[in-house]
């Protein structure tokens, strides 16, 4: 691609502790789609390259939505008075079973991808459903958006109605291998597969073992759910009485490693925290979902302090919106609620930490992404904050208001790994 530069006002992090605010600066995207850094002015060696003028606006690396269920898109905002297990049985499984119908899948996945591509999200880790054809269709749609995504065909052969449950481990594994072969043949540039055991109760011991072997063999990343709800945890204990913990069940099957995303992690024991840390696995915090279906509050500040990898997810449709600005606000809000309710709790999340989790925290799962540091993939989201801010406002103010007032509709332009990833341009 042609190298180009953005002239604007940049907000990004260099690790969880450093927020960089760079007004009236220039970020360069090299021909390989990598960022060369943020400069006070265009370096001489880049004289003559295309310079896009976004000085009115602010530019951020974009948000990474590290946990969402594409097959639940239509259910956003429905069933918000139920808790996890009832919500799965009454609302979620019936909706997901609809995706055996490819016309339905095309309609819904078209809406989802349009929604994702218009907003703050640059990268995502996505669950589809237990349907191979619909998952491939979703991947085709996502590839067109320009976003970088990981997509998992969901494995579930136990404890679900026949309408959505796969008949046994052998079938589930064979379908998964077939799906992976088809994905390979498609040669996607931006859309990659991720091994996706739904959660421990949905998977027979043979399926967990087979998926762990598959992940080991292929080196593919893994995503699942962990310690979301107290009844769920008790259920896992009964299903696996000889395992020391819920996290240990994944670990015993080779499913916990540095390329693993575990959604929720609200009730991790000290042993589970230590195991997650040792394996280098990621905690995906989903505060909108955790509040809606009353799962609880994950102690994210504690996890950050422990040095666990942390990031954020919309978890639609436990979560009610794809708008990561809302997820960030709730991450900050629930963390403060936890601090207020529990005097022993160390501290609460700052806006900067939540922003870090949404950008670099999630981006690091893709390699070097989610920041404008040199060598990072050039992801940039241009945000029109002029509805409430003025150019003369301090960058500190623009950052705080981005956090508290940001919404997807403010996005005016978007690049992922240097490629334009939005239809609307100013």
C-alpha 159 chain-centroid distance: 26
Two tokens, residue 81: 């008075």
**Closest chain position to Fe ion (CB):** 315
3-state helix, strand, coil in the chain (%, to 5): 40, 25, 35
Residue 385's binding partner among Fe ion, ligand GUN, none (Cβ under 5 to 8 angstroms by kind) is: none
CB under 5 to 8 A by kind: which of ligand GUN, Fe ion, none does 251 bind? none
Nearest approach, Cβ of 244 to Fe ion (angstroms)? 24
Comparison of 27 and 233: residue with beta carbon closer to ligand GUN: 233
Asked whether position 315 contacts Fe ion by CB under 5 A, the answer is yes
Report the residue number, 318 or 362, with the smaller CB distance to ligand GUN.
318
- Closest by CA to 248, choosing from 279, 282, 218, is 279
Rounded Cα distance, 313 and 127, in Å: 12
Give the sign of the dihedral formed by CA 346, CA 350, CA 354, CA 357. Answer: negative
Instruction: Return the number of other C-beta atoms located less than 10 Å from residue 37's C-beta.
Output: 14
Closer Cβ to ligand GUN, 13 or 253, answer by number? 253
C-beta of 20 vs 85, nearer to ligand GUN? 85
92 binds, among Fe ion, ligand GUN, none (CB under 5 to 8 A by kind): ligand GUN
Nearest to ligand GUN of 197, 212 (CB atom): 197
Q: How many CA atoms lie within 13 A of 403 on its CB side?
A: 24
86 Cβ contact partners less than 8 Å away, ≥ 6 residues apart: none
Site residues (vs ligand GUN, CB under 6 A): 69, 84, 88, 92, 198-199, 225, 228, 289, 315, 318
Residue 243 beta carbon to ligand GUN: minimum distance, rounded to whole angstroms: 18
Query: Which range in 48-56, 257-265, 270-278, 346-354 contacts Fe ion by CB under 5 A?
Result: 257-265
Strand intervals (E) in 297-363: 309-312
Question: Is residue 232 near Fe ion by the rule CB under 5 A?
Answer: no
Residue 58 in contact with residue 271, Cβ under 8 Å? no
What SS3 state is found at 83?
Answer: coil
Q: Least Å distance between CB 317 and ligand GUN?
A: 8
Q: What separation, in Å, do the N-terminal and C-terminal C-alpha atoms of the chain show? A: 21
In angstroms, give the least distance from the CB of 70 to Fe ion. Answer: 11
Structure tokens at 276: 């997650």
Give the Cα separation of 170 and 72 in Å (integer). 26
Which of ligand GUN, Fe ion, none sits in contact with 116, Cβ below 5 to 8 A by type?
none
Quick one: 295 or 359, whose CB is closer to ligand GUN? 295
Q: Which stretch binds Fe ion (CB under 5 A): 70-78, 106-114, 259-267, 399-407?
A: 259-267
Instruction: Tell me the number of residues near Fe ion by CB under 5 A.
Output: 2
CB 359 within 8 A of CB 416: no
275 touches 251 (CB < 8 A): yes
DSSP state of 377: B
Kindly state the smallest distance separating residue 135's Cβ from ligand GUN, in Å: 15
To ligand GUN, the closest distance from the beta carbon of 27 in angstroms equals: 36
Tokens coding 363: 């981006």
Residue placing its CB nearer to Fe ion in the complex, 134 or 154: 154
User: Cβ of residue 348: shortest distance to ligand GUN, in angstroms?
Assistant: 23
Provide the binding-site residues for Fe ion, judged by CB under 5 A: 263, 315
């Amino acid at each position: 691609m042609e190298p180009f530069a953005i002239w604007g006002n940049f907000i990004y992090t260099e690790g969880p502790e450093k927020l960089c605010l760079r007004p009236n600066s220039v970020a360069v995207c090299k021909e390989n789609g990598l960022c060369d850094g943020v400069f006070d002015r265009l370096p001489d060696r880049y004289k003559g390259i295309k310079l896009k003028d976004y000085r009115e606006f602010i530019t951020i690396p974009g948000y990474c939505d590290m946990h969402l269920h594409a097959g639940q898109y239509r259910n956003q905002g429905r069933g918000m008075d139920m808790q996890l297990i009832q919500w799965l049985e009454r609302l979620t499984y019936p909706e997901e079973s609809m995706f055996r119908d490819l016309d339905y899948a095309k309609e819904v996945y078209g809406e989802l991808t349009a929604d994702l591509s218009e907003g703050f999200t640059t990268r995502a880790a996505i669950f589809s459903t237990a349907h191979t054809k619909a998952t491939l269709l979703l991947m085709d749609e996502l590839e067109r958006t320009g976003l970088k995504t990981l997509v998992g065909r969901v494995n579930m052969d136990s404890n679900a109605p026949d309408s959505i449950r796969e008949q046994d481990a052998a079938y589930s594994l064979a379908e998964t291998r077939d799906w992976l072969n088809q994905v390979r043949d498609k040669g996607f540039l931006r859309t990659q597969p991720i091994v996706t055991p739904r959660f421990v109760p949905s998977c027979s011991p043979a399926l967990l073992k087979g998926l762990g072997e598959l992940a080991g063999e292929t080196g593919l990343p893994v995503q699942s759910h962990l310690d979301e709800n107290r009844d769920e945890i008790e259920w896992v204990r009964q299903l696996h009485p000889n395992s020391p913990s819920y996290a240990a069940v994944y670990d015993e099957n080779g499913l916990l490693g540095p390329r693993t995303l575990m959604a929720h992690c609200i009730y991790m024991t000290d042993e589970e925290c230590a195991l997650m840390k040792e394996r280098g696995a990621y905690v995906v915090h989903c505060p909108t979902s955790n509040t809606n279906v009353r799962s609880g509050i994950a102690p994210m500040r504690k996890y950050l302090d422990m040095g666990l990898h942390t990031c954020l997810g919309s978890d639609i449709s436990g979560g009610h919106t794809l708008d990561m600005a809302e997820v960030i606000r709730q991450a900050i809000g629930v963390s403060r609620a936890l601090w207020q309710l529990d005097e022993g709790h160390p501290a609460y999340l700052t806006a900067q930490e939540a922003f870090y989790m949404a950008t670099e925290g999630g981006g690091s799962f893709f390699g070097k992404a989610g920041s404008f540091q040199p060598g990072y993939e050039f992801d940039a989201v241009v945000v029109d904050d002029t509805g409430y801010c003025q150019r003369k406002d301090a960058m500190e103010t623009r950052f705080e208001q981005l956090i508290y007032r940001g919404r997807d509709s403010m996005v005016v332009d978007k690049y992922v790994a240097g490629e334009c990833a939005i239809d609307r341009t100013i």
